[in-house]
Amino acid sequence: MNSQEMYEKMKARLEKIVPDVELRYKAEIAVEINELKKQKNAVILGHNYMEPALFYSVPDFTGDSLDLSRKAAQTDKDIIVFCGVRFMAETAKILNPSKTVLLPAEKAGCSLAESITAEDVRALKAKFPGVPVVTYVNTYADVKAESDICCTSSNAAAVVESLHSDTVIFLPDEYLAKNVANETGKHIIFPTLAPQPPLPQAGEGVKGGEGQLDYQLIGWHGRCEVHEKFTVKDIEAVRAQFPDVVVLSHPECSPEVVAASNFSGSTNAMIRYVQQTKAPRYLVLTECAMGDNIAAANPEKDMLRLCMVRCPHMNTITMEETRDALKFNRYVIDVPEEIRVRAYRAVQRMLEIG
Ligand code: SF4
């Protein structure tokens, strides 16, 4: 496909979303990327939060973390370029270690992944011996390696239930943990790791907080710096202006925001919801670029989004960086084998649940 054809293809989808001058420029880069992709026998995976011009041009596969993990595990290409953030690229390497995994921007991190260390998980396990550990995929490989099983926002409750355990450690997203607790009817505590007298075992006595006994989930105070910003007041303000709006929120939003929404689900679940329902107008409380991508796929529907925050990490993955990743073979993601093998077990166990 030459750059004029690429421009036409992108324009058909993004005319109302991306300025024309930008589309022309990005179409040229997309052609370069596709050429490099062929030469290097690479596959490009694009997370739902990628900017629209990138999302609708160069990825071979798009989707949420779970989809893309599966694609990473199955690919027979030599190089996986992960247009997402570091923990996602690490997960690709964990699942398919013989491939070269490239993350186009070196500093594409995540506030959730950075909220917890492997040492924190070991301290929690020492404090709650024998309690299984579930970690959200938004964590680094060494944290996954300390876990029994991983989860994504689309399967978090199913993963917790699959353990059939009276008590589960659920890390690191405070809001996702609270939303899972609400969904599964479990009581959650957020322990401190400061030295304290040994805790009694869960399920044996009086009700109460950390030092007492009626809890089934043990959480951590990590937050997504994007989703934590949405408030119930935001929803009320939009509903005052558009009474017919259908509000969709990601479960990394606070439980109050989730309760005030019409629907809460993973990025894929939100995309499906918009496709399968017939409301004229939606408010999408998640990363702004994803709102753009849903709007592009559903031009007949009005997609409201609050773009006061874009994820500063996802935002570093641009078409220029993606081209340069292929050109200069950068930035290579490696996971030490001893960590990878243990993290693999936790990720694989999650993939088996679906
Ligand atoms: S949107 Fe939130 S959870 Fe996703 S990468 Fe950015 S900071 Fe992390």
For helices 20-40 and 319-328, give the axis angle rounded to 10 degrees.
20
- 121 contacts 133 by C-beta, under 8 angstroms: yes
Q: What is the DSSP letter of 173?
A: B
Q: In this predicted structure, what is the pLDDT of residue 211? A: 47
For helices 288-297 and 3-14, give the axis angle rounded to 10 degrees.
90
Which residue has a Cα nearest atom 1 of ligand 1? 311
Output the 3-class SS for 12-56.
HHHCCCCCHHHHHHHHHHHHHHHHHHHHHCEEEEEECCCCHHHHC
Query: How does residue 65 score in pLDDT terms, banded at 50, 70 and 90?
Result: confident
Using a 6 Å cutoff on CB, does residue 138 contact ligand 1? yes
Residue among 83, 90, 112, 254 to mutate when testing ligand 1 (max atoms within 8 A of CB): 112
Cα–ligand 1 centroid distance for 84 (angstroms): 10
Distance CA 234, CA 64 (A): 25
Cα–ligand 1 centroid distance for 171 (angstroms): 15
Q: In this predicted structure, what is the pLDDT of residue 69? A: 86
Using a 6 Å cutoff on CB, does residue 111 contact ligand 1? yes
pLDDT at 194 over 90: no
Distance CA 251, CA 174 (A): 10
Query: How does residue 105 score in pLDDT terms, banded at 50, 70 and 90?
Result: very high
Using a 6 Å cutoff on CB, does residue 50 contact ligand 1? no
Which residue has a Cα nearest atom 3 of ligand 1? 224
Distance CA 231, CA 229 (A): 6
Using a 6 Å cutoff on CB, does residue 293 contact ligand 1? no
Q: In this predicted structure, what is the pLDDT of residue 204? A: 47
Average pLDDT, whole number, for the chain?
93
Using a 6 Å cutoff on CB, does residue 226 contact ligand 1? yes
- 317 contacts 50 by C-beta, under 8 angstroms: yes
Beta bridge partners of 63: 47
Which residue has a Cα nearest atom 8 of ligand 1? 110
Cα–ligand 1 centroid distance for 317 (angstroms): 13
Distance CA 252, CA 176 (A): 5
Which residue has a Cα nearest atom 5 of ligand 1? 110
Q: Is the pTM of this model over 0.75?
A: yes
Using a 6 Å cutoff on CB, does residue 306 contact ligand 1? no
pLDDT (tens digit per residue) in 266-324: 999 999 999 999 999 999 999 999 999 999 999 999 999 888 778 999 999 999 999 99
Using a 6 Å cutoff on CB, does residue 171 contact ligand 1? no
pLDDT (tens digit per residue) in 143-168: 999 999 999 998 999 999 999 999 99
Tokens of 13: 């989808």
Nearest atom in ligand 1 to 109's CA: 5
Tokens of 135: 């970690």
Q: In this predicted structure, what is the pLDDT of residue 131? A: 97
Nearest atom in ligand 1 to 87's CA: 5
- 97 contacts 348 by C-beta, under 8 angstroms: no
Query: How does residue 85 score in pLDDT terms, banded at 50, 70 and 90?
Result: very high
Query: How does residue 215 score in pLDDT terms, banded at 50, 70 and 90?
Result: confident
Using a 6 Å cutoff on CB, does residue 85 contact ligand 1? yes
